[in-house]
Amino acid sequence: MANAAESDQSVYYVPHNGWYPVVLAFGVMLMLTGFGTWLNETKAGEAGSWTQSIIGFAIFAVVLYFWFGKVIVENHQGLANDQLKRSYVWGMGWFIFSEVMFFAAFFGALFYVRVLVVPWLGGEGGKAMTGEYLWPEFTAAWPVVTNPDPSLFPNPIESMAAPSVTSWASYLPFWNTVILLTSSWTVHVAHSAIKEENRKKLITWLGITVLLGIIFLILQAEEYIVAYNDMGLTLGSGIYGSTFFILTGFHGFHVTLGTIILMVQWFRSMKGHFGPKDCFGFEAASWYWHFVDVVWVGLFIFVYVL
Amino acid sequence: MSEVIHADHHDDHHDHGPDKGLARWLFTTNHKDIGTLYLWFSFLMFLIGGVMALVIRAELFQPGLQFVSPEFFNQMTTNHGLIMVFGAIMPAFVGLANWLVPMQVGAPDMALPRMNNLSFWILPFAFGIMISTLFMEGGGPNFGWTFYAPLSTTYAPDSVTFFIFAVHMMGASSIMGSINIIATILNMRAPGMTLMKMPLFVWTWLITAYLLLAVMPVLAGVVTMMLFDIHFGTSFFNAAGGGDPVMFQHIFWFFGHPEVYIMILPAFGVISHIIPAFSRKPLFGYDSMVYAVASIAFLSFIVWAHHMFTVGMPLAGQLFFMYATMLIAVPTGVKVFNWTATMWKGSMTFETPMLFAIAFVILFTIGGFSGLMLAITPADYQYHDTYFVVAHFHYVLVPGALFSIIAAVYFWFPKWTGKMYNETLGKLHFWLSFIGVNVTFFPQHFSGLAGMPRRIPDYALQFADFNMLSSVGAFIFGFSQVFFLYVIIHGIRSGQKASDRAWEGARGLEWTLPSPAPYHSFTHPPQVTDEEAHA
């Protein structure tokens, strides 16, 4: 059913107008101010309310649903010519680049802390006096399981650092790596299924990818539960916990988004969308998925192993 | 707000004019409407930020505490900076990009028109949030526009939470805007418009868009770490937990330094259009202009720590950042040389846009030279956090970025409105601005070198004369921008009809369109001739 209508390829489709963007912006505003109010109320020890942020999020989600729906319908009507589709490709590509830079900020923080801050606090290097004056007892080590001032930032009992390679079989992050790498491959198989016009294969392999994404998220949740309950490793347990949770947390958040996006593509495949020459929605989702996969590899190396 | 799609006559919409009333502005996907929205929004922010500046200058007119409390003074310096950077200068350039880029590359519109509308409409909400913080319990952000931790974390007012979300929203807006500009420039050029034939405004914006894409997410990352430090107990910027407040400065300036080029590269583009037009000569050294902009953009990523020499860093770091910073003077010098060489032996006339452009070249160069002084690490130990720094960055931002925006408005005004502004009023506006800006900021070099710290509501007696002068200049400048508003409205209401080319020396595809430019231009791509390329 793709490209049902004949399209005039020379015309770049410019939609006349629409209410989606401004309502979306309003929803985002409601969501964030509601969340901010909740944060401040909780910090002040009051019982905060989620109502406003949930309404804002609902507006945001509903508008996105209609917006993407409309773009899909327009494409099926043949309004999107090849040039417009190239705009989408550029758009998605550079959006992913901006996401890379978002993670770069957190990776940058991790490297700066590991290479410079912790040694300085431990009394080495150009700022050795920092350590001498502030916490002379503190010894530099990574992972930081003994904080400079444990009365403010309680020490974790242990870190998430990887054991020796021989015992990776019982190391959860290793299996998470296997799962995500496999899912990058399964989404690729689903993509070739589109090229081969094999819908059954597409639905199967895309379904497997979504499933792997969900399993990853469940395992990640399990890891967090263990960290909080058994290891004393929390957001508040010093710089190790801070970097660990912000990196894995935002990655997990992106996996959640990626899984939802893939799920949408899965439902679309069931409805008969996508053809070998017209599958931008699927491709964008799979690029995003490969991106979260690559970030995970970086995480596994620098947060868990090294 | 009809969004009906006629599957069989789907190019119907090209015949549509704008909608009526408010719906036109709320729901528009038209690059010209959105450009207009950006420009008026940025002017509103400019006036609000300007009033804050005048509160600061009124307080500093004399030593002692006159009008406001020190706490409120801090909120004014902070919000003045944030609003001018994120609310006035950046949206004004995005507005110019919206108006000009599609016309200059021969495209029907921006590549992603609905997202274009979203990029704009996020901004009023974001700045609504930010300005509302001033009325919250505990006051608005008071930690300076650079929001250094721990001032912005441990010691911040509660409203910092909303400030953080406002920054997130502005970042999202900038990222979407940049993606749109990149897709438009790389995918929507008319046949024959090769990269090295693109007008320089388009080139500078292409590079600026990449800078934005690379650093706005980093800004989002650093405010997110602040949010976590404030509300979730992390210790990124707290040494007691193994973090480091200096790390905040590194991440912030990794964003912040490219950010200053984000605010000046499109200005370079504008000036590279105006000077050839009024010198009646093609731009001297087009290729080197493109490479210079690209070099500046590259260097902007490896100089960030020159903002923080005094914070303490290894000697090797200080040397590296000092030399890398000085290196920027080379491509910048290429640009100044080329603008001057373009004027050389041209048949020059001095209409308002040209006056602003020439003032840009001279005064921006002054700002560049004081920048070189600041780049020298040992000297910076003396200048750091003094009014010398304030004078430096106001010279590059006010007679730099802002003058280029004003010049652009005068230059393309006839194309946008079909009318010509009143030249006498325009020139009066120029001279008032030129005198105002120099009286305001030139003395600040001296008070800074004499040791006056920035961000203080009261000061020692020996700085009194320079400050009084500065305040007088600030009020002249402030009122001359209200006069600018009058010149513009006067031009729109009773200006004389402009011709299509408007300026005899103007080159570029936009000047081949009628004045005012039709609601939809270049539905089908135009033919690019050598005559109109390289404008």
Q: What angle do CA B480, B486, B487 make, to 5 degrees?
A: 85
Q: What per-residue confidence (pLDDT) applies to B8?
A: 40
3 state SS for B298-340: HHHHHCHHHHHHHHCCCHHHHHHHHHHHHHCHHHHHHHHHHHH
pLDDT digits (tens, 9 = 90+) for A24-74: 999 999 999 999 999 999 999 998 899 999 999 999 999 999 999 999 999
Q: What per-residue confidence (pLDDT) applies to A3?
A: 44
pLDDT digits (tens, 9 = 90+) for B51-106: 999 999 999 999 999 999 999 999 999 999 999 999 999 999 999 999 999 999 99
Q: Among B263, B485, B190, B289, which Cα is nearest to A83's?
A: B190
Q: Predicted confidence band at A4 (pLDDT cuts at 50, 70, 90)? A: very low
Which residues on B lie below 8 Å from A238 (Cβ)? 235, 241-242
Residues 21-80 of B with CB under 8 A from A: 23-24, 26-30
User: Cα–Cα distance between A113 and A141 in angstroms, integer?
Assistant: 11
Q: Is the peptide bond before A143 cis (omega within 30 degrees of 0)?
A: yes
Q: What per-residue confidence (pLDDT) applies to B531?
A: 67
Which residues on B lie below 8 Å from A38 (Cβ)? none
Q: Predicted confidence band at A139 (pLDDT cuts at 50, 70, 90)? A: very high
Q: Among B300, B91, B260, B172, which Cα is nearest to A95's?
A: B172
Q: Which two tokens stand for residue A190?
A: 């689903």
Helices A238-270 & A82-112 angle (0-180, nearest 10): 160
User: Cα–Cα distance between B272 and B359 in angstroms, integer?
Assistant: 14
Q: What angle do CA B372, B376, B378 make, to 5 degrees?
A: 150
Contact B240 A149 (CB under 8 A): yes
- Tell me the three state secondary structure of residue B228: helix
Residues 207-246 of B with CB under 8 A from A: 213-218, 220-222, 224-225, 227-228, 230-236, 238-244
Contact A153 B240 (CB under 8 A): yes
Q: Predicted confidence band at A126 (pLDDT cuts at 50, 70, 90)? A: confident
Q: Which of A85, A90, A248 to mutate to test the interface with B (most CBs of B within 10 A)?
A: A90
Pairing of strands B419-420, B496-497: antiparallel
List phi, psi (to 5°) of B39: -65, -45
Q: Does residue B2 register a pLDDT over 60?
A: no
Q: What angle do CA A172, A287, B188 make, to 5 degrees?
A: 160
Q: Which two tokens stand for residue B404?
A: 């280029």
Q: Which of B234, B248, B251, B254 to mutate to test the interface with A (most CBs of A within 10 A)?
A: B234
- Calculate how close chain B gets to A190, using CA atoms only, in Å: 28
Which residues on A lie below 8 Å from B24 (Cβ)? 17
Q: Which two tokens stand for residue B221?
A: 């990352």
User: Cα–Cα distance between B109 and B188 in angstroms, integer?
Assistant: 9
Q: What per-residue confidence (pLDDT) applies to B445?
A: 98
B372 inside 8 A of chain A by CB: no
Residue B450, exposed/middle/buried by CB under 10 A (0-12, 13-18, 19+)?
A: middle
Mention every residue, 6+ apart, whose C-beta is less than 8 A from residue B476. B432, B435, B436, B439, B440
Contact B251, B215 (CB under 8 A): no
Q: What per-residue confidence (pLDDT) applies to B16?
A: 67
Q: What per-residue confidence (pLDDT) applies to B529?
A: 77
Residue A294, exposed/middle/buried by CB under 10 A (0-12, 13-18, 19+)?
A: middle
List phi, psi (to 5°) of A146: -120, 110
Q: Which two tokens stand for residue B492?
A: 């729109």
User: Cα–Cα distance between B303 and A96 in angstroms, integer?
Assistant: 25
User: Cα–Cα distance between B40 and B319 in angstroms, integer?
Assistant: 44
User: Cα–Cα distance between B434 and B457 in angstroms, integer?
Assistant: 26
Question: To the nearest whole percent, how much of chain A has pLDDT over 70?
Answer: 97
Q: What per-residue confidence (pLDDT) applies to B447?
A: 97
Chains A and B: how many Cβ contacts under 8 Å? 265
Which of A17, A149, A236 minimises the CB distance to B233? A236
Contact A126 B231 (CB under 8 A): no
User: Cα–Cα distance between A249 and A242 in angstroms, integer?
Assistant: 10
pLDDT digits (tens, 9 = 90+) for B216-248: 999 999 999 999 999 999 999 999 999 999 999
Residue B118, exposed/middle/buried by CB under 10 A (0-12, 13-18, 19+)?
A: buried
pLDDT digits (tens, 9 = 90+) for B286-341: 999 999 999 999 999 999 999 999 998 889 999 999 999 999 999 999 999 999 99
pLDDT digits (tens, 9 = 90+) for B456-495: 999 999 999 999 999 999 999 999 999 999 999 999 999 9
Which of B11, B213, B227 minimises the CB distance to A97? B213
User: Cα–Cα distance between B335 and B353 in angstroms, integer?
Assistant: 19
- Calculate how close chain B gets to A237, using CA atoms only, in Å: 7
Beta-strand ranges (E) seen in B382-443 are: 419-420
Q: Among B66, B120, B68, which Cα is nearest to B92's?
A: B120
Q: Does residue B535 register a pLDDT over 90?
A: no
User: Cα–Cα distance between B503 and B496 in angstroms, integer?
Assistant: 14
pLDDT digits (tens, 9 = 90+) for B26-53: 999 999 999 999 999 999 999 999 999 9
Q: Does residue B412 register a pLDDT over 70?
A: yes
Q: Predicted confidence band at B11 (pLDDT cuts at 50, 70, 90)? A: very low
User: Cα–Cα distance between B241 and B239 in angstroms, integer?
Assistant: 5
H or E segment and range at residue B271: helix B265-279
Q: Predicted confidence band at B12 (pLDDT cuts at 50, 70, 90)? A: very low
pLDDT digits (tens, 9 = 90+) for B100-127: 999 999 999 999 999 999 999 999 999 9
Residues 110-139 of B with CB under 8 A from A: 111-115, 117-118, 121-122, 125-126, 128-129
User: Cα–Cα distance between A62 and A20 in angstroms, integer?
Assistant: 10
Q: Among B385, B382, B339, which Cα is nearest to B362's?
A: B339
Question: To the nearest whole percent, how much of chain B has pLDDT over 90?
Answer: 92
User: Cα–Cα distance between B148 and B153 in angstroms, integer?
Assistant: 8
Give strand pairing partners of B419: B497
Q: Which of A73, A98, A120, A145 to mutate to test the interface with B (most CBs of B within 10 A)?
A: A98
Length of chain B: 535
- Arithmetic mean of pLDDT over chain B: 94
Mean pLDDT lowest among A45-49, A79-83, B17-21, B153-157:
B17-21
Q: What per-residue confidence (pLDDT) applies to B34?
A: 97
Q: What is the DSSP letter of A230?
A: T
Contact B244 A29 (CB under 8 A): no
Mention every residue, 6+ apart, whose C-beta is less than 8 A from residue B71. B139, B142
- Tell me the three state secondary structure of residue A154: coil
Which of A25, A100, A236 minimises the CB distance to B121? A25
pLDDT digits (tens, 9 = 90+) for A245-296: 999 999 999 999 999 999 999 999 999 999 998 999 999 999 999 999 999 9
Q: What per-residue confidence (pLDDT) applies to B307?
A: 96
Q: What per-residue confidence (pLDDT) applies to B7?
A: 40
Residue B24: other Cβ atoms inside 10 A = 15
Q: Among A119, A129, A128, A91, which Cα is nearest to A239's?
A: A119
Q: What per-residue confidence (pLDDT) applies to B50?
A: 98
- Calculate how close chain B gets to A266, using CA atoms only, in Å: 25
pLDDT digits (tens, 9 = 90+) for B372-382: 999 999 999 99
Q: What per-residue confidence (pLDDT) applies to B13?
A: 44
Contact B122 A13 (CB under 8 A): no
Q: Does residue B349 register a pLDDT over 70?
A: yes
Q: Does residue B1 register a pLDDT over 80?
A: no
pLDDT digits (tens, 9 = 90+) for B467-478: 999 999 999 999
Q: Does residue B254 register a pLDDT over 80?
A: yes
Q: What per-residue confidence (pLDDT) applies to A107?
A: 98
- Domains detected in chain A: 1-80 (1.10.287.70), 92-150+168-305 (1.20.120.80)
pLDDT digits (tens, 9 = 90+) for A183-196: 999 999 999 999 99
What is the set of active-site residues of B? 80, 109, 145, 173-174, 257, 259, 261, 272, 306-307, 332, 335, 454
Which of B220, B240, B242 minimises the CB distance to A118? B242
**pTM for this model (two decimals):** 0.95
- Calculate how close chain B gets to A150, using CA atoms only, in Å: 7
Q: Any idea which residue has 């004499």 for tokens?
A: B450
Q: What per-residue confidence (pLDDT) applies to B501?
A: 94
- Tell me the three state secondary structure of residue B282: coil
User: Cα–Cα distance between B335 and B380 in angstroms, integer?
Assistant: 26
User: Cα–Cα distance between A38 and A56 in angstroms, integer?
Assistant: 13
> In the Cβ-directed half-sphere of A242, how many Cα atoms lie within 13 Å?
35
Q: Predicted confidence band at B20 (pLDDT cuts at 50, 70, 90)? A: confident
Mention every residue, 6+ apart, whose C-beta is less than 8 A from residue B472. B439
